[in-house]
Amino acid sequence: MNRWLTGWRVFTQIVDRLRERIEVDMYPVGSMLPSEAALCAEFGVARNTVRRALAVLEAEGLILTIPSKGRLVVGGDKAKDEPYLYQAIAHELRGQIERRELEPGAALPSESCLRRRHGVSRSTVRQALDVLEQEGLIVSEHGRGRYVRR
């Protein structure tokens, strides 16, 4: 017999576990959290309990709910006007360029690396890179890759 757990102590424990996973990059910025159903199965709780936990994380600015898509990890430093994955990826790379983690002339991570890191399609990564190219932050060299503009 499968018994669902509910209650204040359970949902706060779920909040703590998910927050920790976000902080240690088990769920990196720009990635999607598992579905409510998957979290219910993992923690052995009712859907309402999971939703209460997710509401707390959203109030803290760690995740963003995107209707019909799921919950996007934003890590607390992303503006709420970036609801799409390509925007979150562009935001992360823009931040690395602005903080000089990616120096002028440095190669950006490859499309396949970005795809694996964020768990997204190639077209999503390309859309993010196109945004940065349109902003003049990066340049593309055919056959060689993309680089931070000098």
Chain segment 13-40, per-residue pLDDT in tens: 899 899 989 888 899 888 899 999 999 9
CA distance 31 to 72: 6
- What is the per-residue pLDDT for 83? 62
pLDDT per residue over 66-104, tens digit each? 888 889 988 755 445 556 778 888 988 998 999 999 999
Domains of the chain: 8-73 (1.10.10.10), 85-148 (1.10.10.10)
Is 108 in contact with 146 (CB distance < 8 Å)? Answer: yes
Burial class (CB in 10 A: 0-12, 13-18, 19+), 122: exposed
Q: Tell me: pLDDT of 9 over 80.
A: no
CA distance 138 to 94: 10
Instruction: Please report which residue ranges of 1-150 form alpha helices under DSSP H.
Output: 8-23, 36-43, 47-59, 85-98, 111-118, 122-134
How many helices (DSSP H) and strands (DSSP E) are in the chain? 6, 4
How much is the pTM? 0.50
